[in-house]
Structure 1
């Protein structure tokens, strides 16, 4: 339930309350995110800044409590008195957005840019903030175990705006915390790292072009003494597959500012008059029952509101993947022998990994082409699928549609389809990425993957992505938007196909 009473907004469910108020200056002051409380508790939860802070800027010279640098805020600007990290940067211009109105929507509010959203939303709060030439919209969507936040910036002026940074959320939490992140690399993913948050900023970010096996976008903030079963733990994640950024830093006043969104490294986007920019959705969870309680809340959210409806509550099949058994060296006969053994072990699904298309006898050639290798598979994928189904096994297939080998028919015909940065191309695992910002590239992938899926009765896709990107900033973001367009066009008409987003161990959203 979302309510507003005398400028106090209360988002509440059975397990949490989230309160903030709009103060006399149009700033959104954070009051509480935690165990359920009453709206009437807002006064007791409000900040009392006292006499100000020395050289701090006052919004009203007669009000010593009007120092934004000492307030717990839901959002902040640039150059107007709050000198903590800002979630927004407009090139060469200050940002001083003040609240002017709100709406409460039944359900969710759709995005226009193609980013994915959590589904089956009960209610959404929309807060509007304005300054001359710009409008900022903060969205809060209330789910039973989590809050989802995102931000939209709209150019309402008559000249272009240059956007360099826009986070999905910003939040000032009172107290001291340790940040737990999950880092690593290929075959060494999800290694937990715990860093106390103090006056020096703690950052969790990825710049590889994907959410990556190096730094998972999910992270925790927990109070001293938190255990698996007790204590305060906050969890955050980003429903986004590209470069991400999250930071936490404690102020002198004991407020921990946390924010998350698209990585602003090399980011720059011009917004002409009337244009807008939308951020990905960020997920915020709270638990008073330690790490286990936080995991349960986040798992419930993902299960009910991120997992596609067709697969919600369904058991996943026990699968056998061919890669470790034979890598590129296989024939239909060898695969069927492995299938017999997999069936005897209780497997329900047989996944053919890399090496099924022409020229793909190693990782130096063939990526980008979709002609089945008839020397390995004389009956094609259709024949292999038929034999597997006769054994009582479903059929899954590996793809790496975002990549291309220079030694491929596709690259020989369309070298201009490769993603480049203007320098001599650099290879990763002997391959380049395709430029998914180009409509013709996306059409090619959608047409060929769809054809293969429909021709062979495929029920499972392992979608791999085995190299990092050379795209920077806004170009990297546009690549991700192109990826979402491809995925939507392939899988929305085929909701029964189970998708594994492998991304070389990164498991992108």
Structure 2
């Protein structure tokens, strides 16, 4: 690894920068955020000089510096970078720098810092990787030296932190529940520690998801913001912390890490623990700017889907557990007629699975329901030109299953017996090599026999008492690593296989699982009112092509709300689109609209799945304007939606985000899906023309002055297409 004699090192990319000083004994973060430009040696020296804080009254007698590994040894009274002990000793870590690797690139680069703690015989390597997108990934490896004392070092917590300035004074994160994932919540940043802990064995339906801190009042299109996301599919901990004395010359810190259970990570000599990657990013263009950086990062993955995202039909809300071959064949026929490209058979196909009370774990086709196996359906689906996909839930088991009866020790839980079931199921111990081998063999056989193109991989309960029987050792960490290995091994055997991450809907959405899957199921709720908000905020981290968005029936399966097909179709367009209803029962006019929608999806998906997501800042949540703008600015598609009534009669002029004021555009309303219900006698004058033909308007009118939008009744949406005049 190349070393450097420079004392101040900088990583720069896409308008952001990280500046670290190789101070002794531990380097310190001088700056993270807006790019400071190409600083001269004098400029860097000035940054270091101004990075020295005052020595406060009733304080330690040297300046408090915020280091890359903050501990009490620095006079840091906040959350330490790591906590642990060696049989009750070595509980005051004191690290020092032993080596540096610095690999700057034209856009980004990597900086690794080697630290050591002789008291606990620990070696620590902190690696900062700034991607061309401007997202900074931070990962740490903590290892015991091979010649260390034989007692294991109990690692209690590792937290990755970066500093925040005083103007970052408002927090946005998320909560949620089943069918209402990623509900935003805001609060001012006060003194003390604001921490979000996840103890569900997965990120959960109430996942903090992406913790953002910004200038008060920041929105989608304005304000300076700093964010962090933990790429880990298990227990998590996020924090924003502000002490009265600050963090060096900074005001507060933002960070996160895996939440470790007591006794979970015990490092014997020669063993190590590697943290999940914490992804940090900054933007001075609000939440859309932050989202754009994450979308760019995700799309740059080597395994990111490059082919058009096929239109899906999933059988769940069409047939549930009623797997009748003739009925499914008719459903496949209708799916092909409307333009579906991938047919997915959901829950109910395997042995003993007539309800959710039994069968999980027995991953062979039920011979009673499917006497010829799945072959008749699979062959028919393929003959219609569609791919075949299948639902599985490999990590779970029903006690009413042959697997649980034959291998009760494979069920994760304490030696005294498993606790209460959740959704009538328990968890398999994936860290047990026998369990892992069984699941890989069962899934491999299914994919191989039926040429399965796609697995909907579900995870319908949380991990409680996630311990091995006998010694009751915690294994939540090992469970996640075993899951990753299982998916990786299956994909290695079947390189073309695509996998969806589903967990009671959107309960496992993170960049750790997305490193090995191809899309997520945003929610079990297909109600378009709820979906407008769920998809709006899921897109804060993920681009639309990774977000499953399906059209359900007129009466929602989860809320019983009745909505128009035009509203449902428009909402589902802005994602990886699909259908989740029994279309054999649709009236001819509804089938015609589904067919038109399928054609519209195929026409627009290059834009929808390759452009920049934009969302307008509006007063209140009764109306929403969101869209996708091509990166070259040549095209855009917007959805104007109303999800509730509001006191005002007129929406006023609404700016279309993402367009260039100096350009000229053509605007039209796409009417293939039908028109919304209007709450007005007549619409704005521009709308009449745009309904019939293209309307030419200056960019300044569209994006600076804004368009007076039509007044819609609740649960309605309008689709607006924009093309630049070149």
Q: After TM superposition, which residue ranges in structure 1, 4 or more long, deviate above 4 angstroms?
A: 2-5, 47-51
Quote the offset at 1:51 in angstroms. 4.4
C-alpha contact 1:149 1:168 (8 A) present in aligned 2:
no
Q: Does 1:57 align with 2:47?
A: no
C-alpha contact 1:103 1:127 (8 A) present in aligned 2:
yes
**Alignment deviations for residues 244-291 of structure 1 (CA, whole Å, 9 cap, x no partner):** 111011122442112211113535422112221111111111111111
User: In the alignment, which of 262, 266, 269 is matched to residue 266 of structure 1?
Assistant: 262
Q: Does 1:304 align with 2:304?
A: no
In structure 2, the partner of 1:283 is 279
In structure 1, the partner of 2:6 is 6
Give the length in aligned residue pairs. Answer: 483
Segments of structure 1 that go 5 or more residues without pairing to the other structure are 59-63, 108-120
In structure 2, the partner of 1:154 is 143
Quote the offset at 1:166 in angstroms. 3.8
- Please say which of residues 26-35 and 406-415 is displaced more in the overlay: 26-35
**Alignment deviations for residues 107-149 of structure 1 (CA, whole Å, 9 cap, x no partner):** 9xxxxxxxxxxxxx97432101112122111011121111111
Mapped to 2, the partners of 1:50 and 1:329 lie a distance apart of 69
**Alignment deviations for residues 166-195 of structure 1 (CA, whole Å, 9 cap, x no partner):** 435221222233221121121111111112
User: In the alignment, which of 80, 88, 91 is matched to residue 86 of structure 1?
Assistant: 80
- SS of structure 2 residue aligned to 1:328: coil
- SS of structure 1 residue aligned to 2:306: coil
Mapped to 1, the partners of 2:428 and 2:484 lie a distance apart of 14
- SS of structure 2 residue aligned to 1:444: helix
In structure 2, the partner of 1:323 is 316
Q: Does 1:420 align with 2:413?
A: yes
Q: CA RMSD in A?
A: 2.3
Mapped to 1, the partners of 2:192 and 2:26 lie a distance apart of 29
TM superposition score normalised by structure 1: 0.89
In structure 2, the partner of 1:142 is 130
Q: Does 1:409 align with 2:402?
A: yes
**Alignment deviations for residues 183-224 of structure 1 (CA, whole Å, 9 cap, x no partner):** 112111111111222212112221100112121432212222
C-alpha contact 1:31 1:72 (8 A) present in aligned 2:
no
User: In the alignment, which of 102, 105, 118 is matched to residue 104 of structure 1?
Assistant: 102
Quote the offset at 1:35 in angstroms. 2.8
Q: 1:504 to 1:85 in 2, by over 3 A?
A: same
For residues 494-505 of structure 1, the aligned pairs below 5 Å read 494-505=494-505
C-alpha contact 1:161 1:271 (8 A) present in aligned 2:
yes
Q: Does 1:442 align with 2:411?
A: no
Quote the offset at 1:106 in angstroms. 8.7
For residues 419-498 of structure 1, the aligned pairs below 5 Å read 419-425=412-418, 426-470=420-464, 471=466, 474-498=474-498
Mapped to 2, the partners of 1:213 and 1:474 lie a distance apart of 22
In structure 2, the partner of 1:228 is 220
Q: Does 1:43 align with 2:45?
A: yes
C-alpha contact 1:419 1:435 (8 A) present in aligned 2:
yes
- SS of structure 2 residue aligned to 1:12: strand
Mapped to 2, the partners of 1:128 and 1:478 lie a distance apart of 26
Mapped to 2, the partners of 1:321 and 1:50 lie a distance apart of 59
Quote the offset at 1:297 in angstroms. 0.5
In structure 2, the partner of 1:383 is 376
Quote the offset at 1:331 in angstroms. 0.9
Mapped to 2, the partners of 1:475 and 1:393 lie a distance apart of 40
For residues 172-187 of structure 1, the aligned pairs below 5 Å read 172-175=163-166, 176-187=168-179
Mapped to 1, the partners of 2:208 and 2:488 lie a distance apart of 23
C-alpha contact 1:221 1:233 (8 A) present in aligned 2:
yes
Q: Does 1:131 align with 2:117?
A: yes
C-alpha contact 1:304 1:312 (8 A) present in aligned 2:
no
Higher RCO, 1 vs 2 (CA within 8 Å, ≥6 residues apart): 1
Q: Decide which structure has the larger Cα Rg and report it.
A: 2
- Please say which of residues 273-282 and 75-84 is displaced more in the overlay: 75-84
Q: 1:97 to 1:24 in 2, by over 3 A?
A: closer
User: In the alignment, which of 292, 298, 303 is matched to residue 288 of structure 2?
Assistant: 292
Q: 1:267 to 1:39 in 2, by over 3 A?
A: farther
- Please say which of residues 216-225 and 280-289 is displaced more in the overlay: 216-225
Mapped to 2, the partners of 1:78 and 1:417 lie a distance apart of 43
In structure 2, the partner of 1:507 is 508
Q: Does 1:354 align with 2:347?
A: yes
- SS of structure 2 residue aligned to 1:130: strand
**Alignment deviations for residues 422-453 of structure 1 (CA, whole Å, 9 cap, x no partner):** 33322111111000110010000000001001
Segments of structure 2 that go 5 or more residues without pairing to the other structure are 468-472, 514-726
**Alignment deviations for residues 338-393 of structure 1 (CA, whole Å, 9 cap, x no partner):** 11222222211111000001110001111100221233333312221111011111
Mapped to 1, the partners of 2:3 and 2:229 lie a distance apart of 25
C-alpha contact 1:186 1:213 (8 A) present in aligned 2:
yes
